[in-house]
Structure 1
Amino acid sequence: MVIKIVCLRCRQKLTAPAYAEKITCGKCGEVNPIIKKPSPATSLEQGKISKPMEKLKKLLLGNTQRLSDSSGSSSSPPSKLCALDESGNQPPAKKRAVLCGVSYKKWKYKLKGTINDVMNMKTLLTQTYGFLERNILVLTEEESDTRLIPTKANIETCLKWLVNGCQKGDSLVFYYSGHGLRQPDFNQDERDGFDETICPVDFLREGMIVDNDIYATIVKPLSEGVTLHAIVDACHSGTILDLEHVYERDKL
């Protein structure tokens, strides 16, 4: 039995015995190694190899499936429903609240106690005044639901939710803990010449929420017999609802 190869240098066809490990080309003198192909496995040997491989394949596929199933069930647990998810077909709850605490944690003017204030207010409403947790919207920078981050757009949306469909006998609460500022009164409806504002977490980009807008959103739409308690823990918040009457203790 002989082996036929081609010289690696001059491409001359060479013939060597089957047992040879190398052959020298008579034309160019190149020493060519002889690489022998492994003998094919017998059907019995193939069976010995294939059966363990099949078992391994099934085991791996089974583990992959189990890992896939487990990851699918634990990777993203269903998000907790909040009051914003309620169907419009259901009448709004008689007691509902919007609690907003802004800490501005990424800025140099951050506040440390606002989120704690909100949680204390939530506890007060649920444990003392009979509010249900599912009827309270809590907006802080710690919320996993992006709709409850205290941005300007989110606060405005939640305030509209608070008064939407309100009826006689409803009890509504708006609580805000964060920065408050004021700006020149361009409508000329303020005695001191300034509009009061609250500062959402994105107020540097999106702007502040002025008292005129707060009045238009949660005061003007109130039906007769609806009670609204608004507690605003911020600077310049004395007339933040832009109400007609102002309590001045010094003049009593």
Structure 2
Amino acid sequence: MSLGKRTGRFLEQSAYFSTLGAALVKAPRRKALLIGINYSDLKVPQVDVIQMRLVLIFFFHYRAEDIVLMSDDPSTPAYLQPTQNNILRELKAFVRHARPNDHYFFLYAGHSSQRKEEVKCVDKKDLGEQDGLDEFVMPLDSVVIVYNEAEKRFDHQIIHDKVILDDLLHDYLVKPLVPGSQLTAIFDTCHSGTLLDLNHYRCNRVCEWTSSVRRAQRKVLVEGVLEPLYERFNRPNTWTQLAIKFIRGADMLSVPKFCSGYCARKDDDNNYPYVICISACKDSQLIYEVGNRSMTAVRIFK
């Protein structure tokens, strides 16, 4: 084979592998972080994360190596025991370097609780807690289980320095996401309504079909009123234009501080990541295991 032909073939192969490499680098990733903690009083979280791992692999085509399973089962390696340090380490690595079209799945099954909200004034986008309470998940080393002989029940003594607040969950799971990436988070735990600290936790409820209807209705009604105003006052008066544009951009004259369930839809949804949070209950509610079955088992596996 002549030198010219060899060179041409080499260049063709190089171009092929270069294209293949670029495609592999840009291919969407699917990653999952599953945390199940039985402590000494629960029975199913460990089973839930094992079953969820199998569902992700066989039904949603996740690669086994892209799924991190943390459990307090004795057979789990020490570095994957769900202690505060281990969970924070995995949370930091989970969504880091997110890219468009990447899919992330997060499951937490265990204990959680509430405490008085800590005052935060750093991030103006942080609306705080509407009920004045911070929600938090409880790593294995944040809980001491004590049996209450008088009332025949288990009580939890919480080590508050070891809990993980909802604000931190938001910082690690939501903030690193880029437009086009997707996160599905399931919280099979008490007080879980706003554990991911999302701004829209009422108007996007999937359990109420009226949620999407009323948001669309809100947008139509508001635009129907503001559009004629904008056209009428769209004249060289700079201050008038600025005032109307401000009102039009806000979509309403008075924006509630917290999600009311009637938030207007925006036309720039593609500029944000897509986040779905499935919670077992509202912030004010508790959940219970019934017949060795959890919300995860009932809603996902059945």
In the TM superposition, residue 145 of structure 1 has moved relative to its aligned partner by: 2.0
Q: Distance in 2 between matches of 1:238 and 1:186?
A: 18
CA contact (8 A) 2:49 2:69 kept: yes
In the TM superposition, residue 92 of structure 1 has moved relative to its aligned partner by: 9.9
1:134 maps onto 2:65 in alignment: yes
In the TM superposition, residue 120 of structure 1 has moved relative to its aligned partner by: 1.1
1:173 maps onto 2:128 in alignment: no
**Equivalent position amino acid for 1:104 in 2:** Y
Q: Structure 1 residues 180 and 226 mapped into 2: Cα distance closer, same or farther (>3 Å)?
A: same
Tell me what 2:262 maps to.
Answer: none
In the TM superposition, residue 164 of structure 1 has moved relative to its aligned partner by: 1.1
2:175 to 220, 224, 230: 220
Correspondence 1:11-160 to 2 at 5 A = 94-105=29-40, 110-142=41-73, 143-160=75-92
CA contact (8 A) 2:32 2:105 kept: yes
Tell me what 1:203 maps to.
Answer: 142
Q: State the TM-score, normalizing by the size of structure 2.
A: 0.50
Q: Distance in 2 between matches of 1:92 and 1:102?
A: 33
Cα deviation, 1:1-27, whole Å, max 9, x if unaligned, reads xxxxxxxxxxxxxxxxxxxxxxxxxxx
Cα deviation, 1:147-203, whole Å, max 9, x if unaligned, reads 100001111111111101110010001100000101111126101000111110001
1:241 to 187, 190, 196: 196
In the TM superposition, residue 144 of structure 1 has moved relative to its aligned partner by: 3.7
**Equivalent position amino acid for 1:201 in 2:** L
1:163 maps onto 2:102 in alignment: no
**Equivalent position amino acid for 2:114 in 1:** R
Q: Give RMSD over aligned pairs.
A: 2.1
Match of 1:98, SS state, is strand
Q: Which moved more, 1:182-191 or 1:118-127?
A: 182-191
CA contact (8 A) 1:180 1:234 kept: yes
Aligned residues between the structures: 159
Q: Distance in 2 between matches of 1:186 and 1:92?
A: 41
Which fold has the larger relative contact order, with Cα–Cα distance below 8 Å and residues 6 or more apart in sequence? Answer: 2
Percent same amino acid among aligned pairs?
32
**Equivalent position amino acid for 1:190 in 2:** E
CA contact (8 A) 1:182 1:197 kept: yes
Larger Rg: 1
In the TM superposition, residue 123 of structure 1 has moved relative to its aligned partner by: 1.0
Q: Distance in 2 between matches of 1:151 and 1:161?
A: 16
The structure with the largest helix share of the pair is 2
CA contact (8 A) 2:101 2:181 kept: yes
In the TM superposition, residue 93 of structure 1 has moved relative to its aligned partner by: 7.2
Q: State the TM-score, normalizing by the size of structure 1.
A: 0.59
In the TM superposition, residue 115 of structure 1 has moved relative to its aligned partner by: 0.5
